[in-house]
Structure formats: C-alpha cells, structure tokens
Structure 1
Amino acid sequence: MPGNYCCVKNCFNRSHDGRGKLRNNGIQFFRLPKWTKHQGEQVSDLTRRRRIAWLAAIRRKDLTFDHTPLSTRVCSLHFHSGKPSYEMLENHPDWTPSLLLGHNDVKKTDEARYQRQVRRRTQQLERQPPPAQDQPQAPPSPAQDQPQAPPAQDQPQAPPAQDQPQAPPAQDQLQAPPPPAQDQPQAPAQDQPQAPAQDQPQAPAQDQPQPQAPPAQDMECGLCTSRRDVINTLLEENRQLKQELDMYRMNENFLSGDDNTVKYYTGLPNFALFQTLLLTLTPYLPQGRMKKLSPFQLVLLTLMRLRLDLPIQHLSHLFRVHRTTVADAFHHTLGVMYAQLCPLVHWPSRECVLTSMPHQFVESFGDNVAAIVDCFEVLIEKPSNVLARAQTFSQYKQAYTMKYLIVIMPQGVISFTSNGWGGRTSDKHITEQSGFLNKLLPGDIVLADKGFNIREHVGMMCAEVKISTFTRGCAQLEAKDVEETEAIAHLRIHMEKVIGVVRNKFKFLHSTVPVHMLVKCEGENLMPLDKIVTVCCALTNMCKSVV
C-alpha cells in the first residue's frame, strides 16, 4: 500500500487510504532519528541515546538499533507539539514520543513542567548579570540608590539624618551636574524639616534623566556579553584559519607576486610574465569541463607538471581534486598552450637575424650564419610492441628514447623544433624529413655537428654547412681545418647552453616519459610529447636569452 504509516502499537494512522488517495487529516509522519557519528563526540553520544530512547518508547521486538526499515515512521499524534523537538533539547517533552504509545511502560512527559523549568532558568539569567555589570559603571548605580531621597521629604525624622552620610558619596560622583547638586548637602544641614522637602524633589527631577537613561530591562545581561565575546573570538580565529588555509591553497594568492616562487614553480622569470601568459590563455581554457579548477589553477598545474615533473597523484593532493581531473586538466591545458604558444617558435626573416647578430658570429663567419642545429633525446618507457622497441632504442643513450631536432638562431632563440622520431633514427634523416631545409635561403651558413652529414642537400639550395668535428673531443683533424673547427665548436657552445636550459628548466624532459604520451592525439598528427617539447621551447623563448 502506498504512503506512510505509523509504527506505534495500536496506532492505525496512514497517509493514504485503501485506494491510494492522500488523506488530508493534518497528521505528519517522522522518521526515527539517525545516529550521527561524524560531528563530534557530544553529538554522537546525544543522537545515539535519542535513537535508543525512541526505540524504547515504541517498544517493538522487530525494531532494533541496527536494523530499522527506512519506511518506519511515527505520526504527530504521539508528540505534545505535533512534531519532535530539536535534538539538542534533551529535556524537551517531545525529545521522544510519549503520547498514545499503546503501553504503560513509558511515562507521559509533562510539558508544563518543562515550561516552568525554562522560566526559572530565564529568571536566573536575568537576575545574576546586572550586579556584575553595574560594578564598573558609576553613573547607573546612583540612579538606583537615589529614590531613597524622596522618603526623606515625607518623613522629616531621624532616619533621614542617619542616612544622610550616604548622600555625600552620591553627590561626589555627580559633581558634573548643575549647581543644585552642590547646594543639596547644605540645605539639610540648616533646615531639616523644610529645606529637604523643597530642594530634594528638584534635584532628582533634574538629575533623574541622566542616570536612568539606560533602563534596567534593556541592559545587556552578562550572558549576552559573554556570548558576544565568544562570537568575536570565533570570528577572529576563523579569519586567521582562512588566511592560513589560503597559504596552502593553489589559488590566485598562492604566488602572491613573489618572483622567486613564480620562477621555482613555473620556470617563468617573474609574476608579471605569468599574468600575461594567464590572460592570453584564459579565453581558450576548458572552463566548462573543469569546474573544480579555475583558469589560474589550470595553467599553474600544467606548468608545475612540466617544471617539476610532479606525479599526477601529488598534484591531485595539492589541488584537492581527483587524479583523473588532474590528468584531463593537464591534457586539455597543454593543447591550448601549444596552440597559443606555437607562434613563439618561428623562423625569423634574414633582416631580423642580421639586425641582432652577436659580434662573435660576425667576426667568424660574417653576416650569413642562419642557424645552429642539433638533436636531443628524451627517455621513454620500454614499448610493448617489438617494432616500436627497435625504432626507439638509441645506441648512443643505450635506452629507449625519442629524438627531436632543435634549431637555434645566433641570438639564442629557438626557431624550429621537429616532431619526435625514434631514438634509432639518424640525425641526417631527421634533418632531411623535418622540413628544416626548406627554410634556408641562398648564402645561409648552418653550424652543425659531424653527425649531420647534409652537405649535399644544403648545397642544392646554395647554402653552406659548417660542421664541427669536435664531437666528444676525440676526433683527428687536418691542420687546415683546425682553426675553422675551433671557431665552430666555440660558437656551438651556445647550442649546448640553450638545450641545457630547456632540459634543466623543465624537468619533465629529464624523466622517463610514459608510453601513452607517444600516442597521437585524436584528429592530429602530433603526440602529446611533441606538444610538450614545443611548449617548453616557447616558454624558454619567453625568458632571457643565454647568449
């Protein structure tokens, strides 16, 4: 039968009739209280005792503390007020059901007794605080004692004369009022029966509004004062805890404009450059998918992954999100950064190169040095496919790697990066197939290592290749080539510096890259590792050149 029904013995109240129609009889149904375990020891003990008390009042063998159906209800007819009381009011008569329980084992609670108890407690709180609060306040105390003066008007007997020594302290406290307060002690001294009757009614009439301005009923009790102090203390503690929490949260205040912190976590030289990068990327970030992470956190998370090579699990702990959220955020943000920062790795015009050519290159080779080329390798995990193992195993590194061609201008700016190739691929093959040769112009001079045997292909373009044979310092040179080779080797140090900066600045390229980073992105002819290398080179170009 649909609807709710009361579980109390001999109580047949239901929310619906036999036909399933809702009854509008004003009766409500309430669930049995739950045992709350995670809100402190006091709440846990109170809710446990309340659940036990309800089950004891209902007194049914099929209902136990641990096994109670979710459909179990108690109707409003078993409570004085028609509903259960707040769980913290343990003395309230409706803390447990007590009416019409179908047995006499539970005594009916007395609501009037509870109301009398509440009134007594309220009266005690109202009586106790005023004396404690009137002690430091000098003006209100005379206002309460001053009504003793009028009886001296109707009874000109000895008692007023005995109580007269109490008047000077009240007069000394009220020296600020007008002259009548100064004449008051002289009048009783001269004419005891008449002067007090004439002067004393005037002094209270003038002074009464000042001491009695705050009525006794409107004065804050001591309990309110203590509660206010507790609230202020909690608010101050809450403010301090929020400040401490902001220090550990990866939000906009994490970097706080500190250039050293920015350089350590992102690799960028200063906070202003980071803000510029953030403003550039924010309109394109996947904000709808990553609701738990702000644009600031998306960019910071990606840079920290590249810069410090932090594991996904550790970033999940730092940003307080699930590890799958971190992985998705890194993947999507990396795609946005590649699309927006890719133009920073571009091939400049010959006029731009000549304008800022360092004098070392001009002295050795004139104005025609176009680029310095080299390859660097990134370690990867051992592939499961046999063919992939053969293609990625590097004889030079004796490990499985991905190889990238990198081209640097004489100014130290990275102007070209190729897609990834297996570590077994030769430098010559990568240079020929990467599209780098198409960017050379007639008369360009390219500085390369001896592994780049590309003289034939460059010669077809009327360009010239200067090859350094100082590989590992163990080559034999002819006397006529020594001078030229030394100049090339000296200038190729800039290449080693730039590659070292890229790899040292972004430790992700130092680590062993997972295999899933080598799977091509959907709809693109690029691997995530290709995007990472390009983004790292673009970020390096945003920093100060090492040349």
Structure 2
Amino acid sequence: MVHTCVVAGCRNRRTPGTALSFYRFPRDPERKQRWIAAVNREGWVPNDGSRLCSTHFISGKQVKNPRSPDYVPSLFTPAPLSPEMKEPGSLEILDKQEARVEAANALLFLQGQGSSAVVERGQEEHPEQREQEAAVEESASSSLSSDEDDEEDDESIDCKKGKFAPHTSDAAVNFDNVLKALKKENQTLRESVDKMSLSENSLRNDAEKVKFYTGLPNYFVLETVMWLLAPHMDGMKTVKLSKFQQLLLTLMRLRLDLRNQDLAYRFGVKVGTVTRTVHQMVNIMSSTLVPTAVFWPSRAELRKNLPVALRTSHPDCAVIIDCFMVPFEEPVSRGNQQQQRVVSSSQVGGTSYNVLKYLIGVAPQGVVTFVSRGVLGNVGDKSLAEGCGFLCKLLPGDVVLASRDLDIADSVAARGALFKIAGSYQGEASPPLPDSSSETVSVQRHVQRVLSVVKQRYAMLTGPVESPFTTVSERTSNLSTFDKIVQVACALNNLCISAAPLE
C-alpha cells in the first residue's frame, strides 16, 4: 500500500521496506480539526486515504493521550527524505516531476500492470494541471487504502484476536505448547511451596510431618484438637495467623523447643506475636484440653483395663508415680516471693535449687492421670505430695507404685492406701539389680518408659525453662505458664497411642 504524506513540502511516502509510519486522520471531530489546522493547507479537507507520516511527531509516532505533545502533530519543518528515496534534482519543477513518476511506478507495480510508466523530464506543465494530477494521485492512493487504523493499532488488534503475520505463523503454533509448559511449571511450583509451607494442606496427608512438628500421631488427632479449641480462640486478635497456624506454632514450640525468633521467621510474624500466641494458646489448652485428657479414672475402670503383668502382682495398682526435674534459666517467681538463680548448681540434700520439681502420676495403662504444679528443687518429696493434691485422689485399698523411695509411705498410708517400690535402683538410667525377679523388672522398665515418654515427645520439658514462663500467669490457680505447659504436654501425650504397653 502506497501512502503519501499530505503535508506541503513533505515528500515522504510508504513504499515496500520503508521504516516510516503513516497515520490516518483521527475520527474524533475535535482532534481531527486540530490535525487539519496543524497541517495548514488552506481550503484542504482530508479524505479516507489521507495520511500523515511519523516525522511530524516529536517521538516519531502519534500518541492517543490528550496530555501528550504528540496528540497532535507539531513538527512541520521541511521533512527529511526517507533512507529509501534517492536525492532528486536541484530544480523545483524537476523535483516534483520525479516524485510523481516514482509514485506512478509504485502504483502500477502494485496493480500488476507490469512495466513502469515513463514521463519525460523537461516537459512543461501549467500550474493548474500539476494540481489536478496531484489530486488524481491522492485519489488513486485513497481508492487502494482500507479503513484500517495506523500500523501500531492494526498490530495490537491482530494480536488480541490471535492473528499473526505469515512469517510468524510457526511461532504462533508453538505458543500453545509454551503456555502448557508454563502452566505445568506453575502447578509444580505451587505444589512444592505447599509441601514446604506449614499449612493445613501440607499436613493433611503426611502423618510423619504431623508427628514431627506436633507430637500427635496423625492429622485426624490434630484436627480433633483444633475442633475442640477453636470456639475458645475467637477472642485472640492475630491478623497474620489463622487459628490453625496459632495452634501449630504453639505445638512446635512445645514439641521442638524452638526459639521465638525461629518461629517468627517460619511464620512471617514478629517475635512479640509468637510470645503472645504461645501464652494465650497455653492458657486455652490448659483450661479446655487438660480437664478433658488428664483425669483420674475410676477404680472399676482401672481394674478392668489393668495390664496382664500387674494382674497377679499388683491387682489393686491405681497409679505409678515419680518426680522429674526441669532446670530454669532465671529466678522463679511465686507470688510475692522470688527465689534467686544459683549459677553454681549448689546442692542441698542432693537436690538443686535452680530446678523445678514435678510429681507425675501414670495409670498402669500408660496414660498420665495426675501432674502437680512445679516447686523449687529443694522441696522434699513428702511436702510436694502432700501440697499438690495427689493424696486426695487415693481411695482405701489402692496401691501406689514407684521406681524408687519417695518418702511418702506414711502419707499414703494415712489415706488407707499402700505405697510399694518396684525395684531398688538409683536414677533413671541405672539398670535393675540382677537378683530382681522378672516380674519386678518388667514393672520397673514399664515405669521408666512411661515417665520418660512425655519428655521425649515434647522437648520443651527438658529445659532449661525461660524466665517468661516461670511467672504466675493467674492468681486464682497459682500456676505458672510452664506449669500449664507441663500439663498440656501430658494431655497431648494421652491423645497418642501408648508408647509403653505393659504386656
């Protein structure tokens, strides 16, 4: 398609291979009038074939933004010739003749009429005849042009419709394959991110991942705990963490004993948010989960499910008890009294001051049925048992087993129960004596496994305890946050399959 610029004195035209762009006059009446005024041809009106070349715009192309200086053409100095055009003669008349000859040749070539028309140079024409021929040339160019917009608009419309030029047809066919490959890659990346993230979907079908991060056996148990706690979590104001994430964060804190900064990085929150979430979730689980999972069974229930190994030797066994220690880092606060931290691990009667001491009771079946609040390590076993409410759980005739002498036989006897020691070794890691009967050894090993399983499942119970967890969280219960953590860990342990079957 041959288009000639309508600006007076501009000899640019579009021929095959030209780098210039030619724009038709806009359809908007106001903008069209501004273009006509800019061209400044007296009495001239553009038609459908009228074109304006890109050399009359500052940026080299028209811009449809009314705020742009190229919304209307503004460069009308004598336009330079396009690189494809040859320099005409020096005389004005011969220059115009040469332009008409080349335009006629291009027109004949496009119409398929073969050879070019030859017009003799030096032929004189009257001014009226030259204007008439120019009008004919412009009309011919107009008759061959279509109603398309400028080149850039045509290309953008074709791309939107999925049309491509003949030389890009092969690339267009491959776009479907490229799109499919990108979609597949996107799906793979999404699955990879979901698998690495700490979300419900990443844990739903991965029991090993649930066990590693929470200590619970599978996602069903985790979902049950979430269902039990969710109604009590409505008052927690955490924008970035969902209810499930708050529970998961707390369980990871108990299970892996991760630092608050580590959890903040993993969940993309601030350290203060982690600290606040852990304390709030521990309080909720202590008041909701612990009463449900940690309770003293009835005597009938105990005897009905008593393991075979105890039916002959201790048929009236109600509980197996022991004490365990957890070291702490900072002073422990109990009401208005504060016990200063002892760095040198000083001992009084073989017991360290800078530890918290807990009494734990386990049913013969392997579930925790009682856990006391923590006291300083220098408190005796008898004082701990009498002050934590353990003795109130006993009934006349009950048998209390222990792996070592806890000096509570008199206190237990006062409740009509009997205190017995299974074995006579010192310390958890010491082996049983060679002369112990096989029955005693079986009970003794069972005691060891049951009392250690909770601490193995939740590493936070191995200490050392950080100072924010040792302060009393509620005046009514006189329990510190760590006391509640110990109770919650025992409750969560009871939801798991017993790791210490006594068979």
Q: Same fold (TM over 0.5)?
A: yes
Change (3 A) 1:473 1:434: closer
2:201 aligned counterpart, secondary structure: coil
CA drift at 1:462: 2.0
Choose which of 520, 526, 544 in structure 1 pairs with 2:479.
526
Choose which of 319, 325, 332 in structure 1 pairs with 2:273.
325
Choose which of 190, 198, 211 in structure 2 pairs with 1:250.
198
Q: How does 1:377-388 map to 2 (within 5 A)?
A: 377-383=325-331, 387-388=339-340
Which residue matches 1:462? 416
Give, in whole Å, the separation in 2 of the partners of 1:242 and 1:445. 58
Which residue matches 1:405? 359
| 8 Å Cα contact 1:371/1:445 also seen in 2 | yes
Give, in whole Å, the separation in 2 of the partners of 1:513 and 1:91. 72
1:471 aligned counterpart, secondary structure: coil
Deviations 1:123-146 (A, max 9, x none): 46679966528979xxxxxxxxxx
AA in 1 matched with 2:365:
Q
Give, in whole Å, the separation in 2 of the partners of 1:488 and 1:349. 25
1:499 aligned counterpart, secondary structure: helix
Choose which of 506, 509, 513 in structure 1 pairs with 2:465.
513
AA in 1 matched with 2:225:
L
1:253 aligned counterpart, secondary structure: helix
1:309 maps to 2:257: yes
Which residue matches 1:204? none
Give, in whole Å, the separation in 2 of the partners of 1:327 and 1:502. 23
Choose which of 460, 483, 488 in structure 2 pairs with 1:535.
488
Q: How does 1:438-453 map to 2 (within 5 A)?
A: 438-453=392-407
AA in 2 matched with 1:331:
H
Choose which of 334, 357, 369 in structure 1 pairs with 2:306.
357
Choose which of 210, 224, 237 in structure 2 pairs with 1:289.
237
1:255 aligned counterpart, secondary structure: helix
Structure 2, unpaired ranges of 5+: 1-58, 76-148, 429-434
Give, in whole Å, the separation in 2 of the partners of 1:316 and 1:124. 51
Change (3 A) 1:267 1:384: closer
Change (3 A) 1:472 1:91: farther
Give, in whole Å, the separation in 2 of the partners of 1:503 and 1:321. 28
Change (3 A) 1:433 1:113: same
1:492 aligned counterpart, secondary structure: helix
Which residue matches 1:47? none
Output the TM-score relative to the length of structure 1.
Answer: 0.57
Which residue matches 1:37? none
2:273 aligned counterpart, secondary structure: helix
2:295 aligned counterpart, secondary structure: coil
1:428 aligned counterpart, secondary structure: helix
Give, in whole Å, the separation in 1 of the partners of 2:372 and 2:243. 29
Which residue matches 2:225? 277
Which residue matches 1:492? 444
| 8 Å Cα contact 1:287/1:294 also seen in 2 | no
Which residue matches 1:300? 248
Give, in whole Å, the separation in 1 of the partners of 2:353 and 2:60. 72
Give, in whole Å, the separation in 1 of the partners of 2:273 and 2:393. 41
CA drift at 1:469: 6.3
Change (3 A) 1:263 1:349: same
Change (3 A) 1:440 1:384: closer
Choose which of 162, 166, 178 in structure 2 pairs with 1:132.
166
2:358 aligned counterpart, secondary structure: strand
Change (3 A) 1:500 1:384: closer
Change (3 A) 1:236 1:95: farther
Deviations 1:273-319 (A, max 9, x none): 11111111111124650121112111111111111111111111111
Output the TM-score relative to the length of structure 2.
Answer: 0.62
Q: How does 1:117-128 map to 2 (within 5 A)?
A: 119-123=150-154
AA in 1 matched with 2:396:
P
1:423 maps to 2:457: no
1:447 aligned counterpart, secondary structure: strand
Give, in whole Å, the separation in 1 of the partners of 2:158 and 2:321. 91
Which residue matches 1:12? none
1:346 maps to 2:295: yes
Q: How does 1:69-88 map to 2 (within 5 A)?
A: none
Give, in whole Å, the separation in 2 of the partners of 1:226 and 1:305. 51
CA drift at 1:95: 8.6
Give, in whole Å, the separation in 2 of the partners of 1:319 and 1:287. 20
Give, in whole Å, the separation in 2 of the partners of 1:394 and 1:428. 18
Change (3 A) 1:298 1:448: same
AA in 2 matched with 1:518:
T
Give, in whole Å, the separation in 2 of the partners of 1:498 and 1:380. 24
1:415 aligned counterpart, secondary structure: strand
Count of aligned positions: 353
Deviations 1:209-232 (A, max 9, x none): xxxxxxxxxxxxx98x89888777
CA drift at 1:247: 2.4
1:370 aligned counterpart, secondary structure: strand
Deviations 1:480-526 (A, max 9, x none): xx87x985564132221112111111111123110121101144421
Structure 1, unpaired ranges of 5+: 1-88, 99-108, 137-221, 475-481
Change (3 A) 1:434 1:123: closer
Give, in whole Å, the separation in 2 of the partners of 1:454 and 1:309. 33
Change (3 A) 1:451 1:231: same
| 8 Å Cα contact 2:381/2:408 also seen in 1 | no
| 8 Å Cα contact 1:370/1:446 also seen in 2 | yes
Give, in whole Å, the separation in 2 of the partners of 1:235 and 1:135. 22
Which residue matches 1:111? 71
| 8 Å Cα contact 1:93/1:114 also seen in 2 | no
Change (3 A) 1:92 1:500: farther
AA in 1 matched with 2:72:
A
CA drift at 1:246: 2.0
Which residue matches 1:472? 426
